[in-house]
Amino acid sequence: MILPDGNFDVPSGKIATVVTHLEMIELPAIPSDPAGAWTLRRVETPALDWYRELFRRVGEEWLWISRARMSDARLTAIIHSPLVEVYALEHEGRGEGLLELDFREAGQCELGFFGVTAKLIGSGAGRWMMNRALELSWSRPIERFWVHTCTHDHPSAVAFYQRSGFRAFRRQIEIEDDPRLDGTAPRDAARHVPVIE
């Protein structure tokens, strides 16, 4: 379906976002690591409470809601899959970043979730973790590494992925219920996205 140019109303209680899909088809040159006291720990079978708490701390400001709305059974099936790898970026003894690599589609790796908590934004931890993501993903026999992000995410997300070697290949508009109206996210989350009831 081709949409005409113009503005379109988003119903009250809904949010709209532009989703950008990016990919790479070969391992790019990996930038040098920034200095920092970070470690990356693989979590083999993440406890749901642990996973959701880190997911919330990393993504709440950017309206990461998919896993918050997911049933226990469905979330367990994903993050306990032998083809999904969950990592925590640790700083000062605490998980402060989430990296999820999804190899469930043959020949591909999806960067399912990637981000650091607010206290580490701008510290270089994201670049350091992306370097590890590039090494880990391309250590497997894949032909494509891809990710999607949206306009609710950090304003530098697309540029960061492009600097990491990803190329944009698809754009979509997503409309869904505002998670701040049903309690999935706190009312004061994502102040850059106004609530319209």
Domain that holds residue 77: 19-28+36-177
8 A C-beta contact, residue 13 and residue 155: no
Amino acid type, 115: G
Averaged pLDDT score across all residues of the chain: 95
183 domain residue, yes or no: no
CATH number (domain holding residue 41): 3.40.630.30
pLDDT of residue 3: 75
Position 1 pLDDT exceeds 80: no
8 A C-beta contact, residue 27 and residue 185: no
Contacts of 145 (CB under 8 A, 6+ apart): 23, 24, 108, 109, 110, 111, 134, 137, 138, 166
Q: Identify which has the larger pLDDT, 21 or 1.
A: 21
pLDDT of residue 2: 78
Using pLDDT thresholds of 50, 70 and 90, give the confidence band for residue 54: very high
187 domain residue, yes or no: no
191 domain residue, yes or no: no
182 domain residue, yes or no: no
8 A C-beta contact, residue 83 and residue 102: yes
Instruction: Please state, as a whole number, how many other Cβ atoms lie within 10 Å of the Cβ of residue 7.
Output: 5
Q: How many domains does the chain have?
A: 1
